[in-house]
Amino acid sequence: MIEWLVPQASSYAASIDNLITLITVLVGFWFLVAQGVFFYFIFKYREKPGQKAQYITGEKKEEKKWISRPHNAVLVCDIVVIAMAIKVWVEVKQTMPPADAKVNVISQQWAWSFEHPGPDGKLGTEDDIRTGDELHVEVGKTYHFNLVSRDVLHSFSIPVFRLKQDAVPGRIIQGWFKPTKTGSFDIQCAEICGVGHGLMPGRIIIESPAAHAAWVAEQSQKKLASAKAP
Amino acid sequence: MSKPIATTRSATGIPTGRLAVWWVIASEIVIFGGLLASYIMHRLGHPEFGDYAAHTNTWIGAFNTLVLLSSSLSAVLAHQAAERKDGERAAKLLGLTMLGGLTFACVKAAEWTMEISSGFTLTTNAFWSFYYTAAGLHALHVIGGVVIMGFVARDAAQGKELQRVELIGNYWHFVDVVWIFLFPLLYIAK
Amino acid sequence: MSHAHHQEGWVKKYLWSTDHKIIGFQYLFTGMAMALLGGFFAYAFRMQLGFPGKSVPGYGLVSPNEYNALVTNHGTIMIFWFAMPVLIAAFGNFLIPLMIGCDDMVFPRLNRLSYQIFLLSALILIASFFVPGGAFGGAWTAYPPLSAKHQYSLTPAGATLWLLAVALEFVAFLMGGINFVTTVMNSRAPGMKWHQIPVVIWMIVVASIVFMASVGPLVAGAVMLLFDQQFGTGFYDPVRGGDPILWQHLFWFFGHPEVYVVLLPAIGIVIDVIAVFARKKVFAYKTVLYTAFATGILSFFVWAHHQFVAGIDPRMANVFTATTVLISVPIAEMIFVTIATLYGGSIRLTTPMLWALAFVAEFLIGGVTGIYLGSSGSDIYFHDTYFVLAHFHYTFVPIAVIGSFAGVTYWFPKMFGKMLDEKLGKLHFWATIIPFNFIFIPLFITGAAGDHRRIHDYSRFPDLARADLQNLRAIATVATVCMLVAQVIFFFNFFKSMKSGKRAGNNPWNANTLEWSAASPPPHGNFEVLPTVYRGPYEYSAPGRESDFWPQDEPPDGEAEPAQEAAE
């Protein structure tokens, strides 16, 4: 259902959306049943002249079944939801598929910066490309990211990926994503980080392999040019 | 002010004052529990805390433990005296407990002076921050207990409100037990 | 009676009183005043969100730092200075001695002191808006390092005053809680067994115990945060060996049980009101208590669902998903009990009953949307979006607003001896409930579309600056204004009825519980003769009886009046 509002652009976005749909069906059904019974009772048992209410303690076994059966139904639905939630969680947060590339994500008050591998395809070398507020990735590649914060808590959130991870100062937090759709989308900071929290937008630009290679080449050219300049 | 009838009732059979003191102690346990749990979590994550703890003086800590334990003993004796309606003796024994509490506070002050003059302050590192915060919060409880005990002893000497001797004693044992946890955590585990 | 009635000055009677009813009113009126302040804050920041960059009538332009201060203090006030004082302290103080049949709290002076500390804490919070740098704006959760270091928060005095106010509020409620629990344990009327105590009293007691057991670590945490702010310690500073996540654990170890601390009294009020106006015995009374205990205990094991994506060990999330989703079982059961109580009833839709029924209908929405957030997998997406915000407003508004209105409209005759105007009461009900849904249904949608929280202007986010989302935000804003304006009807009705309402007899609703056998309003000392209890609180429509209610203190037929309890 979420895909009606926000496009799916990562390999696990569909898993999360399907979990949300499953929960909607399960709790939605019981929600409607409960509300239906509730309003029906209010109507059916409205005050009528000369009619006294019934005396029901609810302590007898055959009376208690009216709450113990829904109780068990809720329990069964809960177990299904828990199992599916954990399955999705393990896929997104607890497994790290092998990386095709790595990026560093650095958050601070109030800006993002990103470190991409340069033409050599490796991160942590001389030719790394550093950008502010724009993350460039190639569609179809699995990325690992290292998330750090320079000051307070931030949260690296990309709605189209259904990805969210807090950045904690003093820690390097790892995660992954695999873009599946080209385009440019919002990056948010989803944890309040001070006065400029709302002024911390980023963009993720997902490019086809050719476009991404062109961008890398252009950036490393620029870098060389500025290095040569006195 | 006359007491409301509510205060004199006892549906549980436990006197209201004793019940209330138990609830006070229960809510204090979680305060100290939270602080100590935070300390232990840090401690497990930082083996270097052991080196910092080496600068604390175990002998002073041990002496204070002894002082506090003996003051608890006189609180127990005061309770027994109060049970026998011997208010004067209860007051004297409470005085002894207060003396123990004051000794504890004075030794603590001297110890902290030494440590601060050797350069170990609240902000030196996380270990010393915990050291001063936990021991300081405990010391505040000791001083507060001594003050309240003074009022209880004054009434007890005149034979009034003798049930309070037991209540302040229970509180004092709690303060004592907190120290029994603090001493090994801050002094011995090096 | 041991209480002599003498002429007292106004100050002694209303400001320095140890009478539990007056202290209850002090909490009630302070809480309502703070709710108006919190409501005004909501008005100011909702206007900024609905119509960004426009000057807000009655406030002015909302700058980013003011926006942060407004949302932070809106949350803080509504929970700590509105929901808690009204639901626990006001109703607890007013109702406990009356409903268990005694003359006052066991420690009246401690009670007075707890209110005074509470008032001081409220004044400190208000003062924090007038210090250099302005009020604290790091969210009501106050996560360090933002809250711990002034160079990050930019509110040096505001952050400290905020923390001090919250800590003092905790102290006030610890003292109040000890008083409540001890009073109910020891001072019940002769004959009142544990299963004859009204549900609302049980709920206030369980809530007080849950509060006492959960707040301690946060008190310790607040001391550490205060030291970080003021003395430069490094408890939460990773550079100096501290850990910012520690605060989150301490905060939510308290913060999640706190939800149930305010929920339980509200459910208690609702169940009592529903029993009276359905003329029905509460369905499975003991089950209600067991679910309350189960909820109280389980609530201590769910806190980390607030931290799924906070950088905790991902394996921990699986445990907390299970506990969090399972807490729906006792809560759902409580709702089933209220629905089952309606079965076979003779339902009178008075104003208090409308509020109580609305609680069930609206809280269900808050309950089911919680499942999305308790499940770790879907929380990755919903965490810190407006979906979360809409979810917890669908729990907190039913609790704090609807629950309080149910209680106030139900006990108003007892409090002030007059009846509220039913027509105005119903008008106020609909004028509040309809806009309420128009605020938060749109916000579920904007949240699902990716609106993240605590953003003062979405125009910098191209994916969120769409016109359709902005329209939804504007709808929510207009509905907020409508809901706030509707409260004028309530206050008009409240004060008009207090002055010139129809006289209420001792028992205008034909209810069973003990407070209704005292005079309206009850005098100092409450009862002319302290009551003795013969039966449970919900013997409505009992077979073989002419009348459809049976007061707890009415002696069984043919039995002589018992000897009075001697005043000591």
pLDDT digits (tens, 9 = 90+) for B92-101: 999 999 999 9
Residue C563: pLDDT over 70: no
How close C457 gets to chain A, by Cα (Å)? 6
- Is residue C47 classed as helix, strand or coil in its secondary structure? helix
Q: Which CATH class is domain A2-94?
A: mainly alpha
Residue B190: pLDDT over 90: no
How close A176 gets to chain C, by Cα (Å)? 13
- Angstrom distances, CA of residue A119 to CA of A187, A218, A223: 25, 10, 12
What integer pLDDT is reported at residue C558 of this predicted model? 52
Residue C565: pLDDT over 80: no
Return the DSSP state at B50: H
Residue B67: pLDDT over 80: yes
- Angstrom distances, CA of residue B122 to CA of A198, B15, B44, B115, C5: 36, 42, 20, 10, 55
Using CB atoms, pick whichever of C244, C285, C311 lies closest to residue A173.
C311
Residue C566: pLDDT over 50: no
Please answer yes or no on whether C376 and A66 come within 8 Å at the CB atom.
no
CATH superfamily of B16-188: Cytochrome c oxidase, subunit III, four-helix bundle (1.20.120.80)
Chain A, 28-87: which have a CB under 8 Å from a chain C CB? 28, 30-31, 34-35, 37-39, 41-42, 45-48, 51-59, 63-64, 66-67, 70-71, 74-75, 78, 81-82, 84-87
Nearest chain B Cα to C217, which residue?
B34
> Is 0.80 surpassed by the pTM of this model?
yes
Q: Which residues contact A226 (CB under 8 A, 6 or more apart)?
A: none
What does the pLDDT average to over C117-123?
97
Using pLDDT thresholds of 50, 70 and 90, give the confidence band for residue C564. very low
What integer pLDDT is reported at residue C527 of this predicted model? 93
Chain A, 165-184: which have a CB under 8 Å from a chain C CB? 165-171, 173
Residue C498: pLDDT over 80: yes
Listed as own residue / partner, the contacts of A212-217 with beta carbons closer than 8 Å and 24 or more positions apart are: A212/A136, A212/A137, A212/A138, A215/A136, A216/A116, A216/A118, A216/A119, A216/A129, A217/A119
Please answer yes or no on whether C318 and A71 come within 8 Å at the CB atom.
no
What integer pLDDT is reported at residue C567 of this predicted model? 39
Nearest chain A Cα to C143, which residue?
A153
Tens of pLDDT, residue by residue over C260-299, are 999 999 999 999 999 999 999 999 999 999 999 999 999 9
Residue C8: pLDDT over 70: no
Residues of A in contact with C458 (CB under 8 A): 198
What integer pLDDT is reported at residue B7 of this predicted model? 86
Pairing of strands A143-149, A134-138: unpaired
What integer pLDDT is reported at residue C184 of this predicted model? 96
Tens of pLDDT, residue by residue over C152-167, are 999 999 999 999 999 9
Please answer yes or no on whether C375 and A84 come within 8 Å at the CB atom.
yes
Token pair, residue A203, equals 């963009």
Please answer yes or no on whether C342 and A38 come within 8 Å at the CB atom.
yes
Please answer yes or no on whether A194 and C138 come within 8 Å at the CB atom.
yes
Residue B189: pLDDT over 90: no
What does the pLDDT average to over C494-500?
95
How close C104 gets to chain B, by Cα (Å)? 6
Residues of B in contact with C185 (CB under 8 A): 11-12, 14, 19
Tens of pLDDT, residue by residue over A16-49, are 999 999 999 999 999 999 999 999 999 999 999 9
Contact call for residues C240 and B125 (beta carbons, < 8 A): yes
Nearest chain A Cα to C322, which residue?
A82
Give me the CATH topology for the region A101-228: Immunoglobulin-like (2.60.40)
Mean pLDDT of chain C: 93
Using CB atoms, pick whichever of A34, A74, A165 lies closest to residue C328.
A74
What integer pLDDT is reported at residue C559 of this predicted model? 54
Q: For chain B, which residues make up each domain, given as ranges?
A: 16-188
How close B48 gets to chain C, by Cα (Å)? 10
How close B43 gets to chain C, by Cα (Å)? 10
Q: How many CB pairs under 8 A join B and C?
A: 151
What integer pLDDT is reported at residue C3 of this predicted model? 47
Q: How many CB pairs under 8 A join A and C?
A: 293
**Residue owning tokens 């041991």:** C2
Contact call for residues C133 and C40 (beta carbons, < 8 A): no
Using CB atoms, pick whichever of B1, B33, B123 lies closest to residue C217.
B33
**Start-to-end C-alpha separation, chain B:** 54
C191 touches chain B (CB under 8 A): no
Tens of pLDDT, residue by residue over A76-91, are 999 999 999 999 999 9
- The closest of A51, A56, A44, A48 to C275, measured between CA atoms, is A56
Q: Report the neighbours of A using a cutoff of 3 or more CB pairs below 8 angstroms.
A: C
Residue C6: pLDDT over 80: no
Residues of C in contact with B30 (CB under 8 A): 212-217
With both helix axes pointing from N to C terminus, report the angle between C328-342 and C285-298 in degrees, rounded to the nearest 10.
160
What integer pLDDT is reported at residue A230 of this predicted model? 60
What integer pLDDT is reported at residue C455 of this predicted model? 94
Rounded to the nearest 5°, which phi and psi values hold at C385?
-110, 175
What integer pLDDT is reported at residue C2 of this predicted model? 41
Q: For chain A, which residues make up each domain, given as ranges?
A: 2-94, 101-228
Token pair, residue C296, equals 């109280």
Using CB atoms, pick whichever of B20, B32, B127 lies closest to residue C178.
B20
- Is residue B47 classed as helix, strand or coil in its secondary structure? coil
Please answer yes or no on whether C234 and B123 come within 8 Å at the CB atom.
yes
C108 touches chain B (CB under 8 A): yes
A196 touches chain C (CB under 8 A): yes
With both helix axes pointing from N to C terminus, report the angle between C20-50 and C108-127 in degrees, rounded to the nearest 10.
20
Q: Which domains does chain C have, with CATH numbers?
A: 20-501 (1.20.210.10)
Contact call for residues A74 and C328 (beta carbons, < 8 A): yes
Q: Report the neighbours of C using a cutoff of 3 or more CB pairs below 8 angstroms.
A: A, B
C568 touches chain B (CB under 8 A): yes
| Interface TM-score (ipTM) > 0.90 | yes
Using CB atoms, pick whichever of A19, A74, A192 lies closest to residue C146.
A192
Give the least confident one: A178-187, B39-48, B167-176: B39-48
- Is residue A173 classed as helix, strand or coil in its secondary structure? strand
Please answer yes or no on whether A67 and C346 come within 8 Å at the CB atom.
no
| Cα C96 from Cα C181, distance rounded (Å) | 10
Please answer yes or no on whether A192 and C138 come within 8 Å at the CB atom.
yes
Residue C484: pLDDT over 70: yes
Please answer yes or no on whether C187 and B24 come within 8 Å at the CB atom.
no
Using CB atoms, pick whichever of C144, C284, C455 lies closest to residue A197.
C455
Residue A225: pLDDT over 90: no
What residue type is assigned to position A20 of the chain? I
Please answer yes or no on whether A191 and C384 come within 8 Å at the CB atom.
yes
Residue B43: pLDDT over 50: yes
Give the number of other Cβ atoms within 10 Å of residue A41's Cβ.
20
Please answer yes or no on whether C332 and A88 come within 8 Å at the CB atom.
no
Contact call for residues B17 and C189 (beta carbons, < 8 A): no
Nearest chain B Cα to C19, which residue?
B4
Using pLDDT thresholds of 50, 70 and 90, give the confidence band for residue C568. very low
| Cα A77 from Cα A85, distance rounded (Å) | 12
List % helix, strand, coil for chain C (3-state, nearest 5): 70, 0, 30
Residue C214: pLDDT over 70: yes
Tens of pLDDT, residue by residue over B153-167, are 999 999 888 999 999
Q: Report the neighbours of B using a cutoff of 3 or more CB pairs below 8 angstroms.
A: C
Using CB atoms, pick whichever of B23, B35, B42 lies closest to residue C182.
B23
| Cα C74 from Cα C125, distance rounded (Å) | 11
Residue C20: pLDDT over 70: yes
Chain A, 116-145: which have a CB under 8 Å from a chain C CB? none
Please answer yes or no on whether B24 and C109 come within 8 Å at the CB atom.
no
C-interface mutation test, from B7, B138, B148, most C Cβ less than 10 A away: B7
Residue A58: pLDDT over 60: yes
